[in-house]
Structures are given as C-alpha cells and as structure tokens.
Amino acid sequence: MQNAVPMSWYLILSAILFGLGVAGFIYRRNIITVFMSIELMLNAVNLTFIAFSYTLRQVDGHIFSFFVMVVAAAEAAVGLAIILTVFKNRETLMIDDVSSMKY
C-alpha cells in the first residue's frame, strides 16, 4: 500500500475531468454531448468523493457517491425524455436552433 498512487493524483485527475465537463458544456453544440459533459462532471465529483473517503478512512464518501449515481440516473431518464420531445418537435439536436425565445 505504501507505494500506491498518491492522493493528489486522484484529485488532479478529477479536477481535470470536471474542467473538461465544464468546457464541453460551454463549447459543445450538440444537446446530447452537452448532456454527456454534465455526466462527466458528476463522475468527476464521484471520483473526488471516493478519493477523499479512502484517505479519511470513512464510509460517508462512498455512500454519497451512491446517492450521486442514483440521482444521475434519475436525471438521465428525465433529461433524455426532454431531449427526445425537443427532437420530435424540432427535428434538430443543435442547441443553437432551440432558441425561439431570444429576441
């Protein structure tokens, strides 16, 4: 265990993943990809929780990451349903085309 991967690596990796998620959310134009970026951010959060939970020798972080997974699944169900209705009404998945209320 002594020569395991250091803690900071996990945290840096999760920060990079979170940053990628934010960048994807802002710069991607396809709704599905934007949604995937959000999932990436949530998984970065899970990685952070697990890393901290391991260092602190506590089970709280594990439990929290389970809650995050469950909620992410519920969000995915609702989110994909919403994306589907948008596609049915507009026949497009480009986020710039879904802007009937801008003036």
Partner 1 sequence: MLANFVPTGDDYLRYLPEIIMVVAGTLVMLIEPLLGENKRTAFETVSLVAFVAALGAAIKANTIPGASFANMVIVDGFATFFTVLVIGVGILTILSSSQYLKREHAASAEYYALLLFSVTGQCVMATANELIMIFIGLEISSIATYVLAGYLRDDKRNNEAALKYFLLGSFATAFLLYGIAWIYGTTGSTNLADIRMFLLTPGTEHNVTLASTAAALMLVGFAFKVSAAPFQIWAPDVYQGAPAPVTLFMSAGPKAAAFAVFLRVFMTAFQPITSRWEPFVWSSALLTMIIGNFAALTQTNIKRMLAYSSIAHAGYVMVAIAAHNQIGIAAAMFYLAAYAFMNIGAFAVVTHFSRQGEKFVNIEDLAGLGWKQPVTAGLFAIFLLSLIGVPLTGGFFGKFYIFKAALDANMVWLAVLGLLNSAVAAYYYLRILVVMYMNEPGEATLSLQPLGAGLRTTLWASALGTLVLGIFPSVLLNFARNSSALVK
Residues that bind partner 1 (CB under 8 A): 11, 18, 21, 25, 31, 34-35, 38, 41-42, 44-45, 48-49, 51-52, 55-56, 58, 60-61, 63-64, 67-68, 71, 74-75, 78-79, 81-83, 85-86, 89-90, 98-102
Q: Measured from the CB of residue 67, what is the shortest distance to partner 1 in angstroms?
A: 6
> Residue 31: CA atoms inside 13 Å, Cβ hemisphere, count?
20
Q: Scan for tokens 């998984």, then name that residue.
A: 43
Complex with partner 1: residue 13 or 86, whichever CB lies closer: 86
Measuring CA to CA, how many Å separate 14 from each of 50, 51, 79, 96? 11, 9, 24, 29
**String of DSSP letters for 6-75:** PHHHHHHHHHHHHHHHHHHHHH--BHHHHHHHHHHHHHHHHHHHHHHHHHHT-SHHHHHHHHHHHHHHHH
* Closest separation in Å from C-beta 13 to partner 1: 13
Instruction: Tell me whether residue 4 or residue 69 sits nearer to partner 1 (CB atom).
Output: 69
Distance in Å, CB of 75 to partner 1, minimum: 6
CB of 86 to partner 1, least distance (A): 5
